Amino acid sequence: MSEHDNLPERSSGSSPVDLSKGHVEGTGGLPARFENPGLPAHVHRHGDDDDAAARRSERQVAGLFVLSMLATVGFAVAYFAIDKNSTVTLPLVGVTNALHVALGVTLGLSLLGIGLGAVHWAKTLMSDEEIVEERHVLRSDDGARQGAIDVLTEGGESAQIRRRPLIVYTLGGALGLFAVPLGLQLVGSLGPLPKNDLSTTLWSTRIGQRDGKGGRKRKLMRDPEGTAIRLTDVTLGSVFHVLPEGINETEHPLNEKVKASVILVRLEESKIRSQRQRDWGIDGVVAYSKICTHVGCPVGLYEQQTHHLLCPCHQSTFDMTDDCKVIFGPAKRPLPQLKISVDTEGYLVADQGFAEPVGPSFWERG
């Protein structure tokens, strides 16, 4: 190895270079930049010169391929032999399904055997002498480029595009409009218009209602048992997940649940800070929409001690003693309150629907 071959020697007559002043250009006789020294000499691998080493590599590659075959056989055996319900305990993994693990491991080994074998073959036995391929500039030569432009202009001229603007404009119009029918069909038929669906819940209708008249108030029912709740059932500190009476008889129960789900708690009346909140509940029993005003997850976590409601999706926190206002997190609006009272049999019922839309904000809610 001659390290100094390319070392630039100072040619006579060059002016001194002052490195302390930062970067300097070359001075007399020296090139401005270093030259590319070209490919370094190829260094032989162990197996290139030593036949024993090469044979060892050959055996290793073949061994990996054999491992692959064995694993494949193992997969087939496992597939038929292992009961699909039997379990196995593995270190770190714990108790797990035996068939699943056996299939995964054998499949993995079968594939890895092929892959590792092939790569090992390439690295140890195939030539590792680097090859140089020339690049060519991507652009076409000027003649070809002009030719392409000529084809376009000549084509245009022969079609008389310039001379017949009427055709051009009408064609543009037709092409611009042709997607409209398809788009219209898609946009028009994918779904119904929202109308006031987002603003209403099942609570705003009454049981047995006909043409908006008659019927009785909907009871608050336990979710998922579907049983009515007496005021006396709601002891201090208890939490009820509530759905409106008759929700399973609706056309789309899931769609109704998404909007009508309610959380019911009893607070000490003295702790409630808002007069309206007290008025809309009974004896400290208050009902609020369980749908987060952020993006609509159920606000499922109630902290009994702090009276905070926490949404597990994005951690918006609502204060139940302060009209469910947001005290932390990304939500903006308080959870809407459901006005409740007690019917003649002592069950909790909803007096009216929510006073505002529940759940996530949307453009028209205003």
Partner 1 sequence: MSTETPARSADALRKDDDTSAPAKGAGAVGAVASWVDERTGTAKGFRYLMRKVFPDHWSFMLGEIAMYSLVILLLTGTFLTFWFVPSAGHTVYDGSYEPLKGIAMSEAYASTVDISFDVRGGLIIRQIHHWAALLFIVAIMLHMFRVFFTGAFRKPREINWIIGLTLLMLALVEGFAGYSLPDDLLSGTGLRAAEGFMLSIPVLGSYISYMVFGGGFPGEAIIPRLFTVHVLLLPAIIVGLFTAHIILVMVHKHTQYPGPGRTEKNVVGFPMMPVYIAKAGGFFFIVFGITALIAGLVTINPIWAYGPYEPTQVTAGSQPDWYMGFADGALRLLPGFLEFDLLGRTWSFNIFLGAIALIPVLFTIAGAYPFLEAWITGDKREHHILDRPRNAPTRTALGMAAISFYAVLFFAAGNDIMAIKLHLSINDITNILRLSAVILPPLVFWVTKRICLSLQRRDRDLVLHGRETGRIVRTADGRFFEAHEPLDAHTRWRLVAFESNRPLELPEGSDSNGVRRMGAAKQRLRTRLSGFWFNDRIEAVTPAELAAAHHRGEYEALEAAAVEDSHPQEFGGHLHGGAEEIGTSHAYGHLEEEKSDR
Nearest to 124 by CA among 43, 57, 189, 71: 57
Instruction: For partner 1, give the closer residue by CB, 268 or 364.
Output: 364
Return d(Cα 230, Cα 243) in angstroms, integer.
14
Tokens of 36: 């590319």
Closest separation between CB of residue 254 and partner 1, Å?
Answer: 5
- Residue 20 touching partner 1 (CB under 8 A): yes
* Closer residue to partner 1 (CB): 132 or 182: 132
Tell me the C-alpha distance between 207 and 246, whole Å. 7
Region 347-366 residues binding partner 1, contact defined as CB under 8 A: 359-366
d(CA 356, CA 365): 8
Nearest CB to partner 1, comparing residues 133 and 211: 133
Q: For residues 129-168, which are near partner 1 according to CB under 8 A?
A: 130-135, 137-138
Residue number, 25 or 51, with CB nearest to partner 1: 25
Query: What backbone phi and psi angles, to 5 degrees, belong to 158?
Result: -65, -25
Two tokens at 131?
A: 């090859």
Q: Judged by CB under 8 A, does residue 18 bind partner 1?
A: yes
Whether 68 contacts 109, CB under 8 Å: yes
What is the DSSP code (8-state) at residue 162?
T
Footprint (CB under 8 A) of partner 1, residues 190-249: 190-194, 197-198, 223-224, 241, 243
Q: Work out which of 234, 326, 340, 350 binds partner 1, going by CB under 8 A.
A: 326
Query: In this chain, which of 206, 294, 307, 339 binds partner 1, going by CB under 8 A?
Result: 294
Rule CB under 8 A: is residue 81 a binding residue for partner 1?
no
Residue in 267, 223, 259, 220 with CA at minimum distance from that of residue 241: 223
Query: Cα(109)–Cα(66) distance, rounded to whole angstroms?
Result: 11
Cβ-Cβ contacts under 8 Å for 314 (sequence gap 6 or more) = 292, 294, 295, 297, 329, 330, 331
Asked if 301 touches partner 1 (CB under 8 A), the answer is yes
Among 81, 254, 270, 344, binds partner 1 (CB under 8 A): 254
265 binds partner 1, rule: CB under 8 A: no
In the bound complex, what is the minimum distance in angstroms from residue 132's beta carbon to partner 1?
5
User: Pick from 53, 88, 105, 342: which binds partner 1 (CB under 8 A)?
Assistant: 105
Would you say the C-alpha torsion 248, 249, 254, 260 has a positive or negative sign?
A: negative
- Tell me which of 44, 164, 276, 332 binds partner 1, using CB under 8 A: 332
Stretch that binds partner 1, among 148-156, 229-237, 328-336, 340-348 (CB under 8 A): 328-336
C-alpha–C-alpha distance, residues 220 and 241, integer Å: 9
